[in-house]
Amino acid sequence: MDQIRNAINEMYKEGKFSHENHVITFQKINQKTKKQTPIVPVILTVVVSACLIIGLKMMLFQHDIQSTTSTVIDSNFYPEKSGRVKDYSNLTRPWMVAGLVSSLFLFIFAIVAFLKNWFWRVLLCIVIIIAILGNMSERIGYRVYVQNEAEIQNVIKWIPFPDDVKMNDTMTIRQYRIGYFSKDSFRGILIFKHDGKGYVMDQFIQSKLDTMNAIYLKDIHHIVIPLVENHNIEKLIIDTGAERIEKAVDSNDAQLIAVPLKSEIATSQMLIHAMDHEGKTSILYNESRIFTY
Amino acid sequence: MLKEQKDAHLSSVMTMYGDYLLRVCYTYVQDWTVAEDLVQDTFVKYYEKMEQFREEASVKTYLYRIAINKCHSYLSSWRYKKIQVIDYWSKLKSLSDNPEEEVLMGETDALIVAAIEKLPTKYKDVLLLFHFAEFSLKDVAEVLKLPTNTVKTRLRRARQMVGITLLEEGFEYGSDS
């Protein structure tokens, strides 16, 4: 006899598949017909999968939190739209792509695990997928469209700014719409840019000083100059280095003044002077307080 | 096949292969209760597929294949890993020598078996199937779903490893015959 076989048989001679084991085997065979699949992980998987599907449905299909309306005002050039819709542009960021790919792989593995009756692994995969997608859905923001001043005022609720603001002025220059508002010593400017569907919130500038930031809209060669309340300014003088533009100011209210420029300029050379009713001039905005958009 | 016939056939198969399968499984799992459990499961699975087997040789091949697969699954299970950790800690706690083990290790068969038990699973598979279950190289390859040359290589290495292990313990064994 083979020495290895002999050694194992000798050393394990007490190892006998006894009659008791025969009986247990038959008991297992009889039980097998009753107990087909482990019920707990199956139920949990079904419940968790249902949560996943509902979550996905909420995340992907319920785009609009508020009802949206669209109108075309200027010969199809800048159509108007209002409301709030999900912004999926975040999904193209590297970590979001990594999350999506991971979820996809986990889902495929979950299917394989399900086919192999690895129900606890299926459950684990589903839980991880929910965690990833849940986290991703938290990071998907909104695109807020506005049509008028009241809607701009509503938008302020979504940004970090005190409530009950006073809307000072709004203006629309081609694809840009700008809202200027204040609350006590806080001032803010919201810039909306047209995305082909409507004016969507894009930038928020806040200041606690007496003056704001002037905004240079580079692509349309416009400069937008915010003036604070009781400014006592009679005239604005915009010196770009290449040209000098004078703009009269009608009232003492907080307001936005838009000045068209002839061509693209370098803000480093730009100075905005203010002239009061006595003819005194002072620098209102210099290079450091001009925001190029 | 009638249920009574299936039961009778299973009883005879259990009588014929039960002890051997139990010993093979014990070589892997080192626990008689677990080994019994795995062999019972092997026979349960065989019972479900009984109609597919007509030849005695294919029954033996199937039983060893299932038994070894079940041992592999057990060794990679959380249950086994948990036991391993508990054993490790209990060994750390009681570092005193085990006199019974020393007595056993003094015997030739014990040395061979101890060396086999220490083998990595893939070498243990071929060694047990070839030497203990007395399969041919071709049958071992079929059971393990490996190329015959791989089986040959593993068998040679397994023998060398058993030989080396035994040499370290003062016993020379493991000729490549």
Q: What is the pLDDT of residues B119-142, one digit of tens each?
A: 898 999 998 899 888 888 888 998
A12 vs chain B: nearest CA distance in angstroms? 6
Q: Provide the token pair at A37.
A: 């699949």
Using pLDDT thresholds of 50, 70 and 90, give the confidence band for residue A207. Answer: confident
Using pLDDT thresholds of 50, 70 and 90, give the confidence band for residue A102. Answer: very high
Count the Cβ atoms, other than its own, within 10 Å of residue A140. Answer: 15
What contacts B54, CB < 8 A, 6 or more positions away? Answer: none
Residue A61 sits at the chain B interface (C-beta within 8 Å): no
Q: Provide the token pair at B129.
A: 């199937």
Coil, strand or helix at B7: helix
What confidence score (pLDDT) does residue A36 get?
61
Chain A neighbors of B10, CB-CB under 8 A: 25-26, 29
A40-54 b/e (C-beta count within 10 Å ≥ 16 → b) = ebeebbeebbeebee
Assess contact for A198 and A180: CB atoms under 8 A: no
The ipTM of this complex is 0.77
CB spacing of B14 vs A21 below 8 angstroms:
yes
A57 vs chain B: nearest CA distance in angstroms? 36
CB spacing of B112 vs A22 below 8 angstroms:
no
Nearest to A8 among B21, B44, B113 (CB): B113
Q: What is the pLDDT of residues B68-105, one digit of tens each?
A: 999 999 998 888 888 878 877 877 766 555 555 544 54
Chain B neighbors of A2, CB-CB under 8 A: 131-132, 134
CB spacing of B40 vs A28 below 8 angstroms:
yes
Tokens 């000083």 sit on residue = A209
* Nearest-angstrom CA–CA distance, B159 and B177: 9
* Nearest-angstrom CA–CA distance, A232 and A249: 9
**Secondary structure of A126-174 in the HEC alphabet?**
HHHHHHHHHHHHHHCEEEEEECCHHHHHHHHHHCCCCCCCEEEEEEEEC
* DSSP-assigned letter for residue A66: S
